[in-house]
Amino acid sequence: MMGRKGKGMYDSNLTARKALNMHDLILQKVSHTCHAIITKGLNLCNLITWPWPRKLLYLAFPLRLGMCLLCFPLCVFIYLWYLPTAYSILLTLPMGLASWLFSKRGACACFFGYLSIQIMYNLFLFGRELWPPTSVFSLLSNAAVLFVEGSAMVSLRYLLSAEEQARLRAEQGEQQAALAYEQQRQLYQLKSQFILNVNHELRTPLTAASGYLEMLQLLLEENGHLERTKHGEYLNSALRYCEELQALVNNVLQTIEIGSDRTPLKLEQLAVAETVHEVLERFDIFRRHRCRIHLDIAEHLYIWANAQCLHHVLYNLISNAIKYAPEVAPIVIGAWQRHDTPQFVCIYVRDYGPGIPHEELPLLFGQFVRLQRDLAGTVRGTGLGLYISKHLIEAMGGQIWVESTGVPEEGSVFFFTLRNAFPQVLKERIPLTGAYDKT
């Protein structure tokens, strides 16, 4: 008895193992089948996402239209000429192509075009007789298949368009972020350079003026008085450095006002020649170099300008010409009425210094900008003078620019235009004759 029971238990265990093995085999087959289906589906998705379907969208409109016009009648002709039930798959080709290339418009044109041709073809074959069930079924089934295919392709086009727009927005966002970062970095660098320049510019005249004043104080304590002939030059030097320090502070304050003040300037009629003479006589640096300055200004020429702003611009341009040109090089200040635009007067300051490199010309009127050669040179500056001059000229309704070949001793010419107070009369220009004279 026990032997029979043991044998029965062995048989039942063997049957259970076979069932488990069969179950595992079925699971493996199902797993392989699912894997194959997923692989085929991924391959189909890869086929759709290949580059060539997208490249079709970038073809010229006549080429895309020609492809659809050639594919649609060819496939419909083959479908109607041979057995329709066997070749109905051909109709999916023009529908897919038209839906992909022209989205909803292409799908609608292909769908209704097929219906129209199919109905006319059936009317031609059967006339007023009742259509056979196979023809009706073929028409309805093909219409349903084409409708589903067209809807799917149009949806893919919309998804692709949305993906392209999202990608473009992301790229634009990255570009804007990179541009903002670069601008922030440049601004930080400019501010750092400006602080170094201003620190140097403030320290130099302040130290010099303080040194002259301390020396004069020592002389006064020792002698009890100062003599004009011996000590007057020291006092004049201290005053010059104080004037330079005042001009530097005014430049910084003027830059702050440009960024915050938006009130329009009050303009008045000013005589160009008289205004230039006032600027040349007002500042000691111009009086010391009066033998180098030549005038080429038209007689009785009047402009609309703000006197204080025009003085500031002329001071910046003439002082730059004096600083950067050699000691013996002449400086020419000229003005004339433009023949092409008589409503404007053109004023210029020409020097015969080292010139400006061509690649640095567009940057010259920026804030805190100085030429590369001047950063390590002996000529001091903050890079604010031309920036301020540009904004002042534009606030008065004019334009300012510079012309230079970059060749040494050919120098540079700074031009700016302002509105002519009497544009109906052409002015005669004074010939260039020697150094300027107030009289």
Question: What distance in Å separates the CA atoms of residue 61 and residue 47, rounded to the nearest whole number?
Answer: 24
According to DSSP, the β-strands at 293-297 and 331-337 are parallel
DSSP 358: G
C-alpha torsion 237→238→240→245, nearest 10: 150
- In this prediction, residue 414 carries a pLDDT of 95
Is 167 within the bounds of a domain? yes
CB atoms closer than 10 angstroms to residue 118? 20
CB atoms closer than 10 angstroms to residue 243? 15
Considering the domain architecture, whether residues 67 and 204 belong to the same structural domain is answered as no
- In this prediction, residue 428 carries a pLDDT of 47
Is 34 within the bounds of a domain? no
Say which residue, 425 or 69, is predicted with more confidence: 69
List, for residues 51-81, the tens digit of each pLDDT value.
667 778 878 888 888 888 888 888 887 777 7
Considering the domain architecture, whether residues 173 and 194 belong to the same structural domain is answered as no
Amino acid at 29: K
Is 438 within the bounds of a domain? no
Amino acid at 138: S
Question: What distance in Å separates the CA atoms of residue 349 and residue 385, rounded to the nearest whole number?
Answer: 14
Question: What distance in Å separates the CA atoms of residue 416 and residue 422, rounded to the nearest whole number?
Answer: 18
Nearest to 304 by CA among 386, 400, 395: 395
Residue 200 has pLDDT above 80, yes or no: no
Considering the domain architecture, whether residues 253 and 278 belong to the same structural domain is answered as no
Considering the domain architecture, whether residues 226 and 153 belong to the same structural domain is answered as no
Is 219 within the bounds of a domain? yes
Last residue of a domain, one of 258, 282, 316: 258
Question: What distance in Å separates the CA atoms of residue 214 and residue 216, rounded to the nearest whole number?
Answer: 5
Considering the domain architecture, whether residues 280 and 373 belong to the same structural domain is answered as yes
- In this prediction, residue 257 carries a pLDDT of 62
Residue 419 has pLDDT above 90, yes or no: yes
Nearest to 307 by CA among 274, 284, 346: 274
Enter the pTM of the model.
0.49
Query: Is the CB of residue 294 less than 8 Å from the CB of residue 436?
Result: yes
Say which residue, 84 or 120, is predicted with more confidence: 120
Nearest to 207 by CA among 232, 233, 235, 242: 242
Q: Count up the domains in the chain and report the number.
A: 3
Residue 2 has pLDDT above 90, yes or no: no
| Cross-strand partners of 298 | 429
- In this prediction, residue 303 carries a pLDDT of 93
Residue that is written with structure tokens 């070949």 in the block? 405
- In this prediction, residue 275 carries a pLDDT of 92
Considering the domain architecture, whether residues 279 and 408 belong to the same structural domain is answered as yes
Share of the chain above pLDDT 70, in %: 72
List, for residues 269-278, the tens digit of each pLDDT value.
999 999 999 8
Reported as half-sphere exposure (CB side, CA atoms, 13 A), residue 86 has a value of 4
Is 320 within the bounds of a domain? yes
* pLDDT band at residue 85 using 50, 70 and 90 as cut-offs: low
State the sign of the Cα–Cα–Cα–Cα dihedral 361, 367, 372, 375. Answer: positive
Considering the domain architecture, whether residues 152 and 136 belong to the same structural domain is answered as yes
Query: Is the CB of residue 337 less than 8 Å from the CB of residue 420?
Result: yes
Mean of pLDDT over the chain: 77
Question: What distance in Å separates the CA atoms of residue 398 and residue 310, rounded to the nearest whole number?
Answer: 11
List, for residues 37-53, the tens digit of each pLDDT value.
556 555 555 555 556 67
* pLDDT band at residue 196 using 50, 70 and 90 as cut-offs: low
List, for residues 319-357, the tens digit of each pLDDT value.
888 888 888 889 999 998 877 788 899 999 999 988 888
Say which residue, 21 or 147, is predicted with more confidence: 147
Considering the domain architecture, whether residues 225 and 291 belong to the same structural domain is answered as no
Is 336 within the bounds of a domain? yes
Considering the domain architecture, whether residues 136 and 233 belong to the same structural domain is answered as no
Question: What distance in Å separates the CA atoms of residue 408 and residue 355, rounded to the nearest whole number?
Answer: 6
Residue that is written with structure tokens 């989205």 in the block? 103
Residue 8 has pLDDT above 70, yes or no: no
Share of the chain above pLDDT 90, in %: 11
- In this prediction, residue 21 carries a pLDDT of 63
Question: What distance in Å separates the CA atoms of residue 258 and residue 12, rounded to the nearest whole number?
Answer: 99
Residue 387 has pLDDT above 90, yes or no: no
**What residues make up the domain containing 130?**
54-180
Considering the domain architecture, whether residues 280 and 414 belong to the same structural domain is answered as yes
List, for residues 212-262, the tens digit of each pLDDT value.
788 778 877 777 777 777 777 777 777 777 776 776 676 666 655 655 555
C-alpha torsion 16→19→21→26, nearest 10: -160
- In this prediction, residue 154 carries a pLDDT of 87
Is 30 within the bounds of a domain? no
Average pLDDT over residues 154-159: 86
- In this prediction, residue 347 carries a pLDDT of 94
Is 427 within the bounds of a domain? no
Query: Is the CB of residue 318 less than 8 Å from the CB of residue 369?
Result: no
Radius of gyration of the chain (CA): 44
Say which residue, 63 or 431, is predicted with more confidence: 63
Considering the domain architecture, whether residues 220 and 300 belong to the same structural domain is answered as no
